Structure 1
Amino acid sequence: MRLGGRDLDRLFHPTSVAVVGATADPSRVGARVLANLRRHHYLGRVFAVDRRAVPVDDLEVVPSIEALPLAPDVAVLAVSAQNCPQALDALGSLGTRNVVVLASGFEEVSDGGALLARKLGRSARRHGMNLVGPNSQGLWSLSASLVMAFGSETARSELVPGPVAVLSHSGSLGGAVATQLQDHAVGVSHMVSLGNETDLCLADYLEYLLDCDEVRVVACYVEGIREGPRLIRALRRANERNVDVVMLPAGLGGQARRTTRSHTGRMLTSAHLLFAVCRQHGALAVASVRELVEACRVLALSGTRLPARPGIGMLGISGGMLALMSDSCEREGLKLPRLRQETEGRLRTILPPFATVVNPVDVTGAVLEQQGLLSDAIDTIRADQGMDILVVGLDNRGYARVSELGAPSVAQRSATDKPLVEVLWQPAPLRDRSMERALAAAGVLVVDEPAEVGTTLRWLASRSTAEPDLDAYSGPTFHSGPQLEDWANQRRVLEGLGLTVPAGVTVQEPSDFTQADLDSLGYPVVVKPVPNLVQHKSDHGLVFMNLWTLSAVTQALRTLRERLPQTIPLLVQAQVSGVEVLIAARCDQDWGPVLTMGSGGVMAELMADSFSVSIPCAASQIAAGLASLKLGQRLAGYRGGAPADRRALVTFACRLQAFFLAHERLLKEVELNPVIVGSLGHGPYAVDFLAQ
């Protein structure tokens, strides 16, 4: 058993496999699985289970599961959905502990199918089984010469092993990714078609793969997340072990969400949140199959890891290509620092007088006439101590120059050499993949699109994670929802978390509020229902601001009393000013506890200016998230305004996550909209509070 996870060793390295529902008909999936086991030279025992016991080549064929001579390490069910529960129970009674279910017709189709899936899950748990699928195309484990799948991508005479493992909710998409990685001569170590995840889920497979020495990159296509907190722990462990995880989520749009629900019976609550979680915990998220394949190619072939903010040197033969590459880096937040004076001086002696010697360096078309000029310029910039990597934009000779420039790197590679990225105008029609692998091993990568260089460099940059800042919660603790509906208790919570609650007076009737009360609060004031009892107060016209006189306050109180039940108290509160911030902690159905912060107030939804992180998180991650927003500019002092107290805001957010975790079983969500952040020493102020 591997530490902290399911024991999947026999699933990926079985000594025996049984295919239930095997047949001699080559068009049936059972026959395809049998053919692939033989084609890819699986060395263990293989049994075919067919009620007619029709011979299948020289395989051992038996008429039933009960007739098997031993309990196989893995059984593949190539039978209908209705027959799967009975077959699973028979295998469990025999002692088989790993089963792959190929059939569809479960959660993804109907309530009846979901009932069948629950029956499968109960049976698997009762027998202590690992269940792959259902609705799976199978799996590969090339270190065991095991191809236990039926997709067309497995029909090759040879599958190239490599450092990338593929985990996919879509068997077809996973097969396409594996095929392209084979075509790129990168290779694949494992491929798993996850299917509906009735039992084993993405986190289980990832935990297992992190202990496989041959795996350096894991490609994931996800349509839904089970056990998100476990997956987060696995992502952090992957980052610690220098295993890159690249995720492609589906379900960003409404139609896509309906499609994925019908495909695997699962869907993401938010693909945008998956991107945020990946950033937070050191994984990569991409937006297309092409990006998924290219990111895996780059990370698998290159041993290079750049600093988080690398020094990028850039030179090119074409000014147009330099412009595209520079723009690409800027979009990714990557800077091109100034070359050292001695570097610029050396370039002036090498390049013609009309060439540009500042970063990015335009060597011009003179390289066409002067042999060695390009190589000399490359060596000069690589020697600059401020540069971590050099990007070279090639001309229309493109791929022919790749080998010319790369050969010296392969022959003379030393530990002090800096990585090189060679950029083409377009993909070469004929590629020497073995040469590119040798180049990558020597620190030279080939990229096909100038406008995507920045993305490639971002993939190579280190993705460090930060330890959460989570002090034990020491404020008031509550044990029931009604306790948190009381405004007095809410004030205790907010003040205990470090917020200032503006002075206020709670009343039942308009006549309860006096001039003396108004004088004590100061001017102006706000009139509204007490927090938590009414949602979206501003949307319903239940908040009255900028009130300076007793008559104006009285009129506002009368209006609220007419609109609201008598049981809801009314609040007159001192009005404060500053930057309005939305802060919410909630329990997401995919990821568990999540913190969201962004531009607040009545325009929060329209602004759509927010970020999310999983809880617990680090103060540095909260600060970085705020800085990434338009809100960050306002907090910093937009257009000459006084900077807001950002440190106090981040401190409060850290305390809020501790409060939420302490009450996780009681609360689904806590929202403060807005928290008002003034200048240093003024706030943050809590003016609203919603707990559910």
Structure 2
Amino acid sequence: MSISRLLRPRSVAIVGASSTPGSLGAGVLANLGRFRFDKPLYLVNPRYDRIGERACARSISELPDGIDCAVLAIPKVHVADAVRRCAEKNIGGVIVLAGGFGEVDEEGRRAQEEIAAIARRAGMALQGPNCLGTINYVDGVPLMFGVAPFESFRERKGVAVVSQSGAMASAVRVALLARGIGVSYSVSTGNEAALSAEDFLEEFIDDPHTRVIAMLMEQIRRPARFLDSASRARAAGKFIVLHHLGRSAAGREAAKTHTGALSGDYSIMAAQVTARGVCLVDSLELLIDVPELLIRMKNPLAPGGTAVVGESGAFKGLTLDYCEAIGLELPPLSASTYDALASHLPAFSPPSNPFDLTAQAMSDTGLYRRVLEQIADDPAFGSVVITISLPSAESANRKMPHIIDALSSLDGNQGVVFAMLGEDCPIPLTHVDELRATGTPFFRSPERAFRALAAVKRLANGTGLLSADATGSRARATPLDPGTLPEYRAKQMLAQHGLKMPAGRFVVSLEEALAAAQEMGFPLALKAQSSQLPHKSEAGAVVLDIRDDASLRSAWATMQQRLMTEHPAVKLDGMLLERMSEPGVEIIIGARNEGDWGPVIMVGLGGILTELLQDVVFIPAGVERAEIEHALRSLKGAKLFDGYRGSPPADVDAAISVVEALSALLLRHPEIVEADLNPVRLHARGQGATVLDALFVVGKS
């Protein structure tokens, strides 16, 4: 169904229109008045003949057919009948403001399903219930009950705000407007009985007035659609900035594998959306600040690191510490830039990044321009942050004209951000307006500017390249039967995808084990095999470093006795006898497949200590090798890969290949819902990687 008539109506009805201050109907009517809405407007309320100068119908049945959008500003008890009558009058879309539906109880959920079914049968768009409404700034149509002061949309690149929460939509919208950022649309989707945030996202990707879509989500209800739209947005040059609530760990406790114990739904979502170019943020501040940078800043995705220009030696140290913590790269000055800047500074303050202007800037007002021009010529920098102390309005009036003049004269590719050193420093608003007129975002604290810029840099630097396989083009294999695949069966599948396992034999008797040991040689590991033993170590079902036949006989007897005594219900398939592996760096490589979200690979350091260390990254199945390596290198313990305390560098290329192989297997077998390769041992560079243990959990295909 089309939502254009609801979003861009040429005729509107307010069902429940009122003159009572504070009522929903009065609020919607007042907003339309503020925006001077001059298209057909119909009011419905049996208690009025007229409201102001407008006639008021007693029922929906008195309205003409084919009105584009009706706002239902009425109590829940009357909503279903009103939706039905709107459908009978061929109204294009309805916005249901009332709450008390699916967010309350089972009765409310049934009422919500009823109105959704009515709208669906009629092909009528339905927004809500339990929503604040919609504001279309492009056409001047505010269908919202909260006070919406008139704002004229004059720009061809704006921000569309989409939020399941009306209050949060208002918070973001008001903040952006206060900064002079054009808001094209603001939508509160509420309970999403019919229309969801994904519907509006798709609409705004195609909207010529929208460049950035700022979204606050409590739940993405249609993940596959969202991911497809995210890919389409990036291809169209549009940016999605997403703040997704609910990073809960509750879902980790019930999972079967170590991977399940580490990855909640948020991790899966985060990996998939960022791989498709979504800028994922973790605060309401960033949901406001990042869109401003993407709209206002010149060339926000310019390659290169960030240069910081300030007036304090101590601030250099603060900046270095903070930017390292948030991952904002501050490259050193090139030799030519160093020499050029050194000629402008006193000898006691050699130039560096961050750059200290020293007190010389107070007397040498041309220093701002000379320094910015030199940095603009350095290809190492894609952005610049100016942090200036403005302790008084007099200080601001003395410094800011020279800074604004310097910014106006820049013709390089770098975007520039201005941040005050001291949040509450008095700066006349005229200077803020002048800064913004040069395309320079203004922040009242350096930390806030750094955080926003770091988020934009992650968006610019992230490769996130999904291969054709990741989009489902790979042929699927015959589905596996549901259940847990024990190690020996999982390893058989991994071997078919080119992965290396220890030399081993699956055996069902001690005699077979002894014969296999003679062929393979010692030392050996003995591991019980059963779909009922997902964690063999905890069950005492693993014996390592078996050195001879006598030790093998003893291990076999001990393990059989322990399992019979402590786990009598476990049915063994047999035993896996393997050669002990060469030493190396141990990592865990696992995966989860969350249905519509698709498979995501998890990589962490620590082997059996992974859950304790929590040093893990998540990688969507099907990304390119460069993205996999970037993720591996972002682990806190990644220094182990390069050799540590005399150990040789590990074979990171082999780890990448294991991730690729597991990705390919999961894309061919989407019925595998969890995979656990723990540990995978990385040998010395060039020597490959060995999968020491493996487990698959298979769901219904």
Q: What TM-score, normalized to structure 1? A: 0.88
Relative to structure 1, the CA distance from residue 567 to residue 369 in structure 2 (aligned partners, 3 Å threshold; closer, same or farther) is closer
Cα-to-partner distance string for 1:388-412 (whole Å, 9 max, x where unaligned): 3333332335643563134324654
- Correspondence for 2:465: 467
- Correspondence for 1:548: 547
What 5-or-longer segments of structure 1 have no aligned partner?
1-5, 258-267
> Do structure 1's residue 280 and structure 2's residue 275 form an aligned pair?
yes
> Do structure 1's residue 80 and structure 2's residue 78 form an aligned pair?
no
Task: Give the whole-Å Cα distance in 2 for the aligned partners of 1:101 and 1:505.
Answer: 65
Relative to structure 1, the CA distance from residue 574 to residue 140 in structure 2 (aligned partners, 3 Å threshold; closer, same or farther) is same
Q: Do the aligned residues in 1 keep the contact of 2:514 with 2:552 (CA within 8 Å)?
A: no
- Correspondence for 2:577: 572
Task: Give the whole-Å Cα distance in 2 for the aligned partners of 1:465 and 1:593.
Answer: 18
Q: Alpha-carbon deviation of 1:76?
A: 1.5
- Correspondence for 2:676: 671
- Correspondence for 1:654: 660
Task: Give the whole-Å Cα distance in 2 for the aligned partners of 1:316 and 1:73.
Answer: 55
> Do structure 1's residue 270 and structure 2's residue 270 form an aligned pair?
no
Task: Give the whole-Å Cα distance in 1 for the aligned partners of 2:515 and 2:235.
Answer: 62
- Correspondence for 1:458: 454
Task: Give the whole-Å Cα distance in 2 for the aligned partners of 1:208 and 1:473.
Answer: 26
Q: How does 1:295-310 map to 2 (within 5 A)?
A: 295-310=290-305
Q: Alpha-carbon deviation of 1:435?
A: 5.2
- Correspondence for 1:448: 444
Q: Which has the larger displacement, 92-101 or 367-376? A: 367-376
Q: Do the aligned residues in 2 keep the contact of 1:10 with 1:98 (CA within 8 Å)?
A: yes
Task: Give the whole-Å Cα distance in 2 for the aligned partners of 1:160 and 1:583.
Answer: 50
> Do structure 1's residue 114 and structure 2's residue 119 form an aligned pair?
no
Partner residue of 1:45 out of 11, 27, 40: 40
Q: Do the aligned residues in 1 keep the contact of 2:64 with 2:89 (CA within 8 Å)?
A: no
Q: Alpha-carbon deviation of 1:532?
A: 4.2
- Correspondence for 1:212: 207
Q: Do the aligned residues in 2 keep the contact of 1:539 with 1:602 (CA within 8 Å)?
A: no
Task: Give the whole-Å Cα distance in 2 for the aligned partners of 1:127 and 1:595.
Answer: 43
Secondary structure of the 2:210 match is: coil
> Do structure 1's residue 62 and structure 2's residue 61 form an aligned pair?
no
- Correspondence for 1:400: 397
Q: State the one-letter code of the partner of 2:467.
A: D
Relative to structure 1, the CA distance from residue 217 to residue 363 in structure 2 (aligned partners, 3 Å threshold; closer, same or farther) is same
Q: Do the aligned residues in 2 keep the contact of 1:40 with 1:146 (CA within 8 Å)?
A: yes
Secondary structure of the 1:444 match is: coil
Partner residue of 2:421 out of 425, 443, 460: 425
Task: Give the whole-Å Cα distance in 2 for the aligned partners of 1:474 and 1:160.
Answer: 46
Q: State the one-letter code of the partner of 2:501.
A: V
Q: How does 1:156-175 map to 2 (within 5 A)?
A: 156-158=149-151, 163-175=158-170
Q: Do the aligned residues in 1 keep the contact of 2:243 with 2:282 (CA within 8 Å)?
A: yes
> Do structure 1's residue 439 and structure 2's residue 435 form an aligned pair?
yes
Relative to structure 1, the CA distance from residue 48 to residue 613 in structure 2 (aligned partners, 3 Å threshold; closer, same or farther) is farther
- Correspondence for 1:262: none
Relative to structure 1, the CA distance from residue 195 to residue 503 in structure 2 (aligned partners, 3 Å threshold; closer, same or farther) is same
Q: What TM-score, normalized to structure 2? A: 0.87
> Do structure 1's residue 581 and structure 2's residue 587 form an aligned pair?
yes
- Correspondence for 1:623: 629
- Taking only aligned residues, the RMSD between alpha carbons, in angstroms, comes to 3.1
- Correspondence for 1:126: 121
Q: Which has the larger displacement, 221-230 or 43-52? A: 43-52
> Do structure 1's residue 103 and structure 2's residue 102 form an aligned pair?
no
Q: Alpha-carbon deviation of 1:219?
A: 1.4
Q: Do the aligned residues in 2 keep the contact of 1:330 with 1:454 (CA within 8 Å)?
A: no
Q: Alpha-carbon deviation of 1:498?
A: 1.4
Cα-to-partner distance string for 1:344-376 (whole Å, 9 max, x where unaligned): 333343222322223333232132234434443
Relative to structure 1, the CA distance from residue 468 to residue 374 in structure 2 (aligned partners, 3 Å threshold; closer, same or farther) is closer
Task: Give the whole-Å Cα distance in 2 for the aligned partners of 1:47 and 1:314.
Answer: 56
Task: Give the whole-Å Cα distance in 2 for the aligned partners of 1:555 and 1:395.
Answer: 75
Q: Do the aligned residues in 2 keep the contact of 1:581 with 1:600 (CA within 8 Å)?
A: yes
Q: Alpha-carbon deviation of 1:533?
A: 4.1
Task: Give the whole-Å Cα distance in 1 for the aligned partners of 2:70 and 2:454.
Answer: 42
- Correspondence for 2:495: 495
Q: State the one-letter code of the partner of 1:71.
A: G
Cα-to-partner distance string for 1:290-349 (whole Å, 9 max, x where unaligned): 222222222222233243432x33332211222222333323434433434443333343
Partner residue of 1:605 out of 590, 595, 611: 611
Q: Alpha-carbon deviation of 1:481?
A: 1.0
Task: Give the whole-Å Cα distance in 2 for the aligned partners of 1:330 and 1:589.
Answer: 36
Q: Alpha-carbon deviation of 1:142?
A: 0.8
Q: Do the aligned residues in 1 keep the contact of 2:3 with 2:125 (CA within 8 Å)?
A: yes
Q: Which has the larger displacement, 488-497 or 601-610? A: 488-497
- Correspondence for 1:538: 537
- Correspondence for 1:360: 354
Relative to structure 1, the CA distance from residue 49 to residue 321 in structure 2 (aligned partners, 3 Å threshold; closer, same or farther) is same
Secondary structure of the 1:350 match is: coil
Task: Give the whole-Å Cα distance in 2 for the aligned partners of 1:269 and 1:122.
Answer: 32
Q: Do the aligned residues in 2 keep the contact of 1:223 with 1:251 (CA within 8 Å)?
A: yes
Q: Which has the larger displacement, 337-346 or 430-439? A: 430-439
- Correspondence for 1:19: 14
Q: Alpha-carbon deviation of 1:243?
A: 2.3
Cα-to-partner distance string for 1:549-603 (whole Å, 9 max, x where unaligned): 3333333333443235344322222222433332233222572332222235322
Q: State the one-letter code of the partner of 1:403.
A: M
Partner residue of 1:684 out of 674, 679, 690: 690
Partner residue of 2:29 out of 25, 34, 37: 34
Q: Alpha-carbon deviation of 1:629?
A: 0.8
What 5-or-longer segments of structure 2 have no aligned partner?
253-262
Relative to structure 1, the CA distance from residue 252 to residue 515 in structure 2 (aligned partners, 3 Å threshold; closer, same or farther) is closer
Q: Alpha-carbon deviation of 1:515?
A: 3.3
Cα-to-partner distance string for 1:619-660 (whole Å, 9 max, x where unaligned): 222221111113533333333322333223222322322322
Aligned pairs, how many?
671
Partner residue of 1:139 out of 125, 130, 134: 134
- Percent sequence identity over matched residues? 28
Q: State the one-letter code of the partner of 1:669.
A: E
Secondary structure of the 2:534 match is: coil
Q: Which has the larger displacement, 402-411 or 207-216? A: 402-411
Q: State the one-letter code of the partner of 1:212.
A: D
Cα-to-partner distance string for 1:482-541 (whole Å, 9 max, x where unaligned): 6984777544411111112323333444x3345332222332222222264421222232
- Correspondence for 2:258: none
Secondary structure of the 1:656 match is: helix
Secondary structure of the 2:348 match is: coil
Relative to structure 1, the CA distance from residue 69 to residue 254 in structure 2 (aligned partners, 3 Å threshold; closer, same or farther) is same
- Correspondence for 2:256: none
Q: Alpha-carbon deviation of 1:476?
A: 9.4
Relative to structure 1, the CA distance from residue 644 to residue 346 in structure 2 (aligned partners, 3 Å threshold; closer, same or farther) is closer
Relative to structure 1, the CA distance from residue 306 to residue 401 in structure 2 (aligned partners, 3 Å threshold; closer, same or farther) is farther
Relative to structure 1, the CA distance from residue 515 to residue 276 in structure 2 (aligned partners, 3 Å threshold; closer, same or farther) is closer
